[in-house]
Structure 1
Amino acid sequence: MRIESMRINYPNSHFTAAAVDGTEGNPMTRRRAGMHAAAAAAALALAALPLAACSSDAGTEGGTTTITISSWYEENVIGTTIETANEILAADDIELEYTQIPLDQYNTWLSTQLASGEGPDLIMDGASFPARVAAGNLVDISDDEIVSNFTPEGLALATAADGAVYGVPSYGWFSGIFYNKALFEEAGVEVPTTFDEFLDVSDQLIDAGITPLAAGLADSDKAIHSLMGYLENAYYHNGDGSPEIDTEFAYGETTLDGNWNDALDTWSELIHHGVLTAEMIGTPMTQAQAEFTGGDAAMYISGPWDYQVFVDAGLDFGMFAHVGDDAENQWLLGGPAASMGVNVDSEHPEEALIALHALASQEAMQATIDANPGAFSYYNGVEGSFPAEYDLVAPLLAEGHVAVGWDRWGVNMPAQTMLDTLTKGLQSVIGGQQSTDDLIAQLDAQADSIRY
């Protein structure tokens, strides 16, 4: 399979001499000392690991050791983070080399690399990070000081059942529903706070000749966010279920059949009301985003990664949470965006650990948050800003009302496989090829075949 990727290199020359030389009070200098101490402490354990040749072009050239890392993040999301880490690493003659892989190809690409004993020196993954842990692809960093800088919630996807920690989070992601204030005003509707209100608002928008929601379902996860956002609000927290059901499901102690049925049937009203349509199955995400930014649709499901796109388009917009049955107990969809750890097959394990420290430093974590307005960090002491467009959801972020079911699945199954099945299944439901009960049965069967 041919991967079209973008490589972003940030040379050490971007780092000023003053920062490299440092002073006693320089936070980067102090952090380098801590990184060296941690690396030395872990060196014996790392050296004992079986190392295989890595498929990346990592190596030492001209005295500089190149450490590779890949993800699906575009430059506007992760560029300043890589640059900040490289500034820290300059004094150690280490340089991070970042490669972007398209999101829809990333899981297959990384799985193939790791199965061959190769892959980047630093492994970065989202919902499938627990699968990388279960496969033995990552170095145990439980005793490394880096772990203490993050909250337990941030470490959840990188923590095995026995409590061992294999990675740290990049930042916290969340999704809600962006809305065009001008189109809402044109249709005479208010921001919905319950699912019934959401259906009513959508009906009124349609009556006013306005497309209620732009959703490119051909190559995106917008349908999953719609469904799981509803479930988080109307089932897991304000309905018949609880988040523990997902953990029980992951371990095979219960099924989705008998739990999700009524909730999914209610959610499918979005199809009957013309909010989610069969035409969207053939619509790419870029087209749907253009519909929203162009003022041709009133709502768009997304998160902070698209914030700047809407600002640049000159939209007057805001965001509200996914909705359910209780306007006073709302939840955003979200969790750790991606976790990062050291590949056990890295040819440069000590340098990779130092690079992980740089990426997970307070400076780099702050750079990530600053580059993604509205994002939040699991690093203790790193705080982001919430622009006015997030006024309706900022209180939920402050309360910690951010969760997602597939993170809970990840404790005992490769969640990405479930998400792939759910993506195709929802396309079939929206297209009228199968019922919500059929989809639930399909998910149960898939889970039975992939649990660890």
Structure 2
Amino acid sequence: MLKKLNATLAMGGATALALSLAAPAYAQDQVELTWLVDNGPSTVDIAEALVAAYEEKNPNVSIELEIRPGGGEGDNIVKTRLATGEMTDIFVYNSGSLLQAIAPQQTLMPLTDQPFMDNVQEAFQSVVSTDGEVFGVPYGAAQGGGILYNSAIYEELGLEVPQTWDAFMENNSAIDEAGYIPVIQTFRESWTSQIFVLADFYNVLQAEPDFAERYTNNEAKYATSEAAQKGFERLAAIHEAGYTNEDFNALGYQEGLEMLANKEGAHYPMITFAIPSLETNYPDQVDDIGFFALPGDDADSNGLTTWMPAGVYVPQTTSNPEVAMDFLGFIASVEGCEAMIDAVGANGPYLIEGCGLPDDVVPAVRDMLPYFEEGRVEPALEFLSPIKGPALEQITVEVGSGFRDPASAAELYDQDVRKQAQQLGLEGW
């Protein structure tokens, strides 16, 4: 049930703020928490499921959801309410570098010493931490950036999932000779052109582990980093080899998924948030769609660039810190994880120890799991640095269309990044 309430709710007695070791106060007293979430359908569905499951276990606790807009408007609401001390008892917000925009050390309660943080995988803890303190638990599933592929084509041609870029290009050659489109591109929606650059970041970190820090400090550039520039080079190589569909500039995202599902093309560079659309629109073909990470130069360092879920946080202004913490502990438990899966399905790992995925997940989701289980994952650059130039998708369209070479693209993107870093007021720019 959704209700919009004021952020400050009384707990019913001053003693309710201190929990007894023998029995928590909220076990006897009625406690009300408020929770601010954005209006995304899956966000709300997850929240409702978690509230229902927690309230069933804790009948003396009532959690009221407050819904905010998404995008910039919602972002401003979060920042304003934190600044004015009017934030709800718990709230959902970005993980990664964008978390720094709300100064977590000054506004949030640290979770570092909470026992339930042992359940949260380090891959997520790293993107909700600053100055040695951890501040959030994961809300939803992680996603991966790489290649969705048609396994029926692979089986027909006797191909194996590539571990290196050279092996990937060899597969593309065989696919081309067989009369299929090797790589689907959909530049009518220009954001899709970025995947080769963004998903290559795991490979960048294998060559330059401190790239994100130096990049943020204006000490590393795409134009002067051989590893970072390779994303542009790989995008160009696909076009130069003639491995894309001829209508790549006119085709859109949903049409690209249709081509992949209908076995017209073998590979679609994409983030795995596309999987639910494939499940919904192509239920008879989705079992023929797999996924692998964007290959780099070395099979021994093959791994996945990941897009982490948002976090759930407790502001320092909450009037119910113990109960709020207990609810976060529930979210970070196997039971809480299963409530999220029941609400929206399993389209990626949930980063909670012990929370396995159902046996009937589609192959593309199953293909992601070994990367996480084996620790072969790194967050996308946007989770490690606040700098992402707004013109990247226009630049990658030019590279992927053969109108700009990779070296000049890297230089142009560095210029775009400088403008944004200066707007953010970062030191050294």
TM range (shorter): 0.7 to 0.9
Aligned partner letter, 2:51: A
Equivalent residue, structure 2, for 1:132? 101
Q: Aligned partners of 1:340 and 1:278: how far apart in 2?
A: 44
The equivalent position to 1:389 in structure 2, one of 348, 363, 376, is: 363
| Secondary structure in structure 1 of the residue aligned to 2:51 | helix
Could you give the per-residue CA deviations for residues 312-341 of structure 1, whole angstroms, max 9, x where no partner exists?
622223223321222343111215322222
- CA positional deviation for 1:175: 3.3
Q: Aligned partners of 1:295 and 1:388: how far apart in 2?
A: 17
Where do 5+ consecutive residues of structure 2 fail to align? 4-18
| Secondary structure in structure 2 of the residue aligned to 1:87 | helix
- CA positional deviation for 1:122: 0.8
- CA positional deviation for 1:82: 3.6
Q: Is the 8 A contact 1:249 1:409 kept in 2?
A: no
- CA positional deviation for 1:154: 1.5
Equivalent residue, structure 1, for 2:8? none
Aligned partner letter, 1:259: S
Q: Is the 8 A contact 2:26 2:61 kept in 1?
A: no
The equivalent position to 1:259 in structure 2, one of 196, 200, 225, is: 225
Equivalent residue, structure 1, for 2:237? 269
Q: Is the 8 A contact 1:193 1:327 kept in 2?
A: yes
Equivalent residue, structure 2, for 1:333? 305
Q: Aligned partners of 1:356 and 1:219: how far apart in 2?
A: 37
Aligned partner letter, 1:376: P
Q: Aligned partners of 2:25 and 2:296: how far apart in 1?
A: 46
| Secondary structure in structure 1 of the residue aligned to 2:168 | helix
Equivalent residue, structure 1, for 2:73? 109
Q: Aligned partners of 1:99 and 1:246: how far apart in 2?
A: 34
Equivalent residue, structure 2, for 1:28? none
Pair 188,250 (structure 1): closer, same or farther in 2 beyond 3 Å: same
Equivalent residue, structure 2, for 1:14? none
- CA positional deviation for 1:244: 1.4
| Secondary structure in structure 2 of the residue aligned to 1:212 | strand
Where do 5+ consecutive residues of structure 1 fail to align? 1-8, 12-31, 41-62
TM-score (norm 1): 0.69
Matched positions, count: 386
Q: Is the 8 A contact 1:133 1:158 kept in 2?
A: no
The equivalent position to 2:165 in structure 1, one of 186, 195, 201, is: 195
Pair 407,66 (structure 1): closer, same or farther in 2 beyond 3 Å: same
Could you give the per-residue CA deviations for residues 292-321 of structure 1, whole angstroms, max 9, x where no partner exists?
223332223345544455456222232233
Q: Aligned partners of 1:142 and 1:64: how far apart in 2?
A: 21
- Per mean C-alpha deviation after superposition, the further-off stretch among 329-338 and 187-196 is 187-196
| Secondary structure in structure 2 of the residue aligned to 1:157 | coil
Q: Is the 8 A contact 2:233 2:406 kept in 1?
A: no
The equivalent position to 2:379 in structure 1, one of 404, 412, 417, is: 404
The equivalent position to 1:163 in structure 2, one of 107, 110, 132, is: 132
| Secondary structure in structure 2 of the residue aligned to 1:117 | helix
- CA positional deviation for 1:397: 2.9
Q: Aligned partners of 1:99 and 1:292: how far apart in 2?
A: 36
Equivalent residue, structure 2, for 1:247? 213
Equivalent residue, structure 1, for 2:291? 319
- Per mean C-alpha deviation after superposition, the further-off stretch among 244-253 and 221-230 is 221-230
Identity of aligned residues (%): 18
Q: Aligned partners of 2:258 and 2:380: how far apart in 1?
A: 29
Q: Is the 8 A contact 2:185 2:245 kept in 1?
A: no
Q: Aligned partners of 2:246 and 2:71: how far apart in 1?
A: 27
Equivalent runs, 1:163-182 vs 2, <5 Å:
163-170=132-139, 171-182=141-152
Q: Aligned partners of 1:39 and 1:444: how far apart in 2?
A: 54
- CA positional deviation for 1:406: 0.8
Q: Is the 8 A contact 1:195 1:323 kept in 2?
A: yes
